Each structure stands twice: as C-alpha cells, then as structure tokens.
Amino acid sequence: MSELKTLGLFLITALAEILGCYLPYLWLREGKTIWLLVPGALCLAAFAWLLSLHPTAAGRVYAAYGGVYIFMAIMWLWTVDGVRPTVWDLVGTAVALTGMAIIMFAPRSL
C-alpha cells in the first residue's frame, strides 16, 4: 500500500473514531437527542473495519494509527471546538506524526 493511501486511510479511520465518540458525547454532555447513538455506533464499527484494511501487522497499525489520531484530534479541537492549538499541541502532534511515519514507512527486512 502506498504511503499516501496509508495516510489517507488513517485520516478517514481517525475521523470515524472521533465522530463515534463525539456523537455520544453530545447526547451525554450537551443534552442532544439519544438518536445520535445510532450514527455514533456506526462510526465506531466503521473505525474498526477501516483499521482492518491495512496489510501490515495489527500491532504496528495500531501503534502508528495513534499518531494520526493525535493529529486529527488537535484539528478537531481547532475546527469543531473552536480552540486554537498551542505551540505545544503542534509540537506534540509533529512528534506523534514523526513516530507514525517511522513505524509505518521505515524499511523492513523479511
């Protein structure tokens, strides 16, 4: 799988996970309709399915995915919650994405 496809799949996966958690949050904390649990559950099911599409070992995928999730969560903080990330949020995100790239794209011997 090419690096760009892998990164794109991770981004979609992270969005599914964040939505799957955010929708129940809206019901529990913001008093929104309980029907948000239905699309929330579907998003979490999609999240699990999307993680299974990677052709590499599951443990490696889960470890690397964490870096992309951090990036998406910080972007969510900024775009949805309206909270501008601090310089430390951005530095931490860069470190996490660097770790993801090392884990997923480093040369491997068979």
Tell me if 64 is assigned to some domain.
yes
> Which residues form the domain of 79?
3-105
Predicted confidence pLDDT, tens digits, the chain (110 residues): 588 888 889 999 999 999 999 999 999 999 999 999 999 999 999 999 998 898 777 888 888 889 999 999 999 999 999 999 999 999 999 999 999 999 888 887 76
Tell me if 29 is assigned to some domain.
yes
Residue 25 to residues 20, 30, 62, 70, 84, Cα–Cα distance (Å): 9, 7, 24, 18, 21
Count of alpha carbons within 13 angstroms of residue 108, beta-carbon side: 8
Tell me if 35 is assigned to some domain.
yes
Nearest 5 degrees, angle CA 41-CA 61-CA 47? 10
Count how many domains the chain has: 1
Phi, psi of 21 (to 5 degrees): -95, -35
Tell me if 9 is assigned to some domain.
yes
Tell me if 26 is assigned to some domain.
yes
Q: Dihedral of the CA atoms 68, 66, 40, 42 (nearest 10)? A: 90
Tell me if 15 is assigned to some domain.
yes
Q: Which tokens go with 13?
A: 């996966």
Residue 56 to residues 27, 30, 81, 99, Cα–Cα distance (Å): 36, 39, 34, 16
Tell me if 100 is assigned to some domain.
yes
Task: Quote the pTM value.
Answer: 0.84
